[in-house]
């Protein structure tokens, strides 16, 4: 990549199929006038849309022209750099060792198609607390990078140890971010755990931001979004909705709701609902559409049947302290009630027929907040009632009530043959050593009686 004045890469922190992500730095004082102006124009465009209530991607060009005029006026007054610094102060933190601000630098590979980069440009300047803001996209002949807000995320181990309430909070914040994107007029199409940046702070608590805007789909244009190039699949099949594999050109915001439900499923159970699509090493077994259609039609196991593997529940151990026993039983009962309500919400998010799902991300937020507070979800009840059915039938349509031990057994690692042979060898050696010790001490008085009885049992004759 050609070096860009004012933008510096320091350390690689991630890598995707078509890009590499670095921790870096952006310094508005050394940025070229062109990039400085572009950075201001994109953010100003979204500010104008928000001020006038027209925050939709379909109105982008109209407000972009007005933002260009504002940038020209500020440049003539010499105030453009100051305005950009005020903008960066809202989203980035100052670099502790040098001038500028800490940022994430996404470098696109040479194979990245133009329309994928254009999708990133369409969302540049958009801001919501639960979406990673894209500040600048450079799409040159020899330089293709995006500058984003840098987020210090928790480790994969910490992510696997989230409590039930924390998992629900992750889903609530993600749904809020999706609601803002849908209102703006785009569908994300790749909601999954890896695209949720989760951070924890002592004051702010848990914070979630949606990342990777390279797959967004504007509502007004649905022509070229089935694949990016060749046989590459533009989705993560473990979390994809059935319509993404079946009719990708008709995908809308309800597909994001399904993927969020699948992500929540993975957070609370430890496995993705479409785990059968993944080999033990995490590599796709089936990359052809015809195979995807077959496997995405399978129902996932009801999460309640997998609760034995869930860390917050588990099996309650007996104790003679009766007060402690009933206190733990009370906590367990509350958790099971939450999980029961959560299954109803997830059935409304992951129903194979999008007409029978939640029709808005805001509704998902409302029901999830009720479940987190220990209350029954109400919107899903209305959805089920309008369908002329009941909650049990709605859950059964989404989840299959299979035996969880069988379901989990097929994903368990195979025992090592070498380890089995080693255990057998150790046990054989220990047995031989025991028999040898008894034989060598057979004349010793305490052992003699035991030895004679052993001989009598084996031969049927008494030792003289």
Look at residue 5 and tell me whether its pLDDT is greater than 90. Answer: no
Residues 109 and 221 in one domain: no
pLDDT tens by residue, 98-135: 788 999 999 888 777 777 787 788 788 899 999 999 99
- Two tokens, residue 390: 């009941």
SS3 call for 135: strand
3 band by pLDDT with thresholds 50, 70 and 90:
confident
Which phi and psi angles does 26 have, rounded to 5°?
-125, 130
Residues 13 and 35 in one domain: yes
Which phi and psi angles does 108 have, rounded to 5°?
-80, 145
Could you tell me if 128 and 140 are in contact, meaning their C-beta atoms sit under 8 angstroms apart? no
- Two tokens, residue 460: 């049927």
Query: In degrees to the nearest 10, what's the CA dihedral of 74, 78, 82, 88?
Result: 60
Pairwise pLDDT comparison (410 vs 45), residue with the higher score: 45
Average pLDDT value for the chain: 78
Pairwise pLDDT comparison (399 vs 1), residue with the higher score: 399
pLDDT tens by residue, 278-297: 433 333 333 333 344 444 45
Domain count, the chain: 3
311 band by pLDDT with thresholds 50, 70 and 90:
low
Averaging pLDDT over each range in 22-31, 235-244, 300-309, 362-371, which range is the top one? 362-371
Residues 89 and 30 in one domain: yes
SS3 call for 179: helix
How far apart are the C-alpha atoms of 255 and 289, rounded to whole Å? 17
CA-atom Rg of the chain in angstroms: 30
pLDDT tens by residue, 27-56: 888 888 899 999 999 999 998 988 887 678
Residues 271 and 221 in one domain: yes
pLDDT tens by residue, 357-405: 999 999 999 999 999 998 999 999 999 999 888 888 898 888 887 654 4
Residues 224 and 361 in one domain: yes
Q: What is the CATH number of the domain that holds 29?
A: 3.30.200.20
pLDDT > 70: percent of the chain: 73
pLDDT at residue 302 in the model? 79
Boundaries of domain holding 437? 417-459
441 band by pLDDT with thresholds 50, 70 and 90:
low
pLDDT at residue 288 in the model? 39
Residues 108 and 212 in one domain: no
Prediction pTM value: 0.78
Residues 255 and 388 in one domain: yes
In a domain, 421, yes or no: yes
Average pLDDT value for residue range 315-333: 58
Query: In degrees to the nearest 10, what's the CA dihedral of 4, 42, 223, 188?
Result: 90
In a domain, 101, yes or no: yes
Which phi and psi angles does 267 have, rounded to 5°?
-65, -40
pLDDT at residue 173 in the model? 97
Q: For the chain, how are helix, strand and coil distributed in percent, rounded to 5?
A: 50, 15, 35
């Amino acid at each position: 990549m050609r070096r860009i004045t004012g933008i510096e890469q320091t350390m690689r922190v991630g890598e995707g199929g078509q890009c590499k992500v670095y921790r870096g730095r952006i310094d508005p004082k050394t940025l070229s006038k062109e990039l400085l102006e572009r950075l201001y124009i994109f953010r100003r465009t979204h500010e104008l849309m928000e001020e006038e209530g027209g925050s939709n991607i379909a109105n982008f060009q109209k407000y972009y022209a007005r933002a260009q005029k504002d940038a020209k006026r500020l440049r003539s007054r010499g105030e453009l750099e100051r305005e950009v610094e005020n903008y960066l102060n809202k989203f980035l933190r100052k670099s502790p060792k040098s001038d500028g601000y800490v940022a994430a630098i996404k470098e696109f590979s040479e194979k990245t198609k133009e329309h994928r980069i254009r999708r990133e440009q369409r969302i540049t300047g958009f801001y919501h607390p639960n979406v990673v803001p894209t500040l600048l996209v450079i799409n040159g002949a020899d330089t293709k990078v995006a500058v984003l807000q840098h987020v210090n995320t928790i480790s994969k181990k910490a992510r696997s140890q989230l409590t039930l309430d924390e998992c629900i909070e992750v889903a609530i914040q993600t749904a809020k971010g999706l609601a803002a994107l849908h209102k703006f007029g785009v569908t994300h199409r790749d909601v999954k755990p890896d695209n949720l940046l989760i951070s924890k702070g002592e004051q702010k608590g848990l914070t979630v931001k949606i990342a990777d805007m390279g797959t967004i789909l504007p509502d007004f244009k649905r022509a070229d979004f089935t694949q990016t190039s060749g046989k590459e699949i533009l989705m993560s099949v473990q979390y994809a909705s059935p319509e993404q594999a079946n009719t990708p050109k008709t995908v809308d915001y309800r597909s994001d709701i399904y993927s969020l439900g699948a992500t929540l499923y993975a957070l609370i159970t430890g496995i993705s609902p479409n785990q059968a699509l993944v080999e033990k090493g995490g590599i796709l077994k089936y990359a052809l559409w015809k195979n995807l259609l077959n496997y995405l039609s399978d129902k996932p196991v009801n999460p309640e049947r997998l609760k034995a593997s869930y860390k917050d529940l588990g099996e309650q151990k007996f104790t003679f302290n009766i007060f402690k026993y009933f206190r733990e039983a009370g906590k367990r009962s509350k958790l099971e009630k939450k999980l029961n309500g959560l299954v109803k919400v997830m059935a409304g998010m992951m129903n194979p027929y999008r007409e029978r799902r939640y029709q808005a991300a805001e509704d998902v937020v409302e029901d999830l907040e009720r479940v987190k507070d220990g209350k029954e979800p109400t919107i899903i009840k209305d959805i089920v009632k309008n369908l002329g059915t009941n909650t049990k039938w709605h859950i059964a349509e989404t989840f299959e009530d299979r035996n969880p031990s069988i379901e989990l057994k097929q994903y368990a690692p195979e025992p090592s043959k070498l380890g089995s042979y080693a255990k057998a060898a150790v046990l054989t050696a220990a047995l031989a050593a025991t028999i040898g010790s008894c034989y060598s001490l057979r004349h010793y008085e305490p052992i003699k009686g035991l030895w004679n009885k052993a001989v009598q049992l084996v031969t049927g004759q008494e030792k003289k």
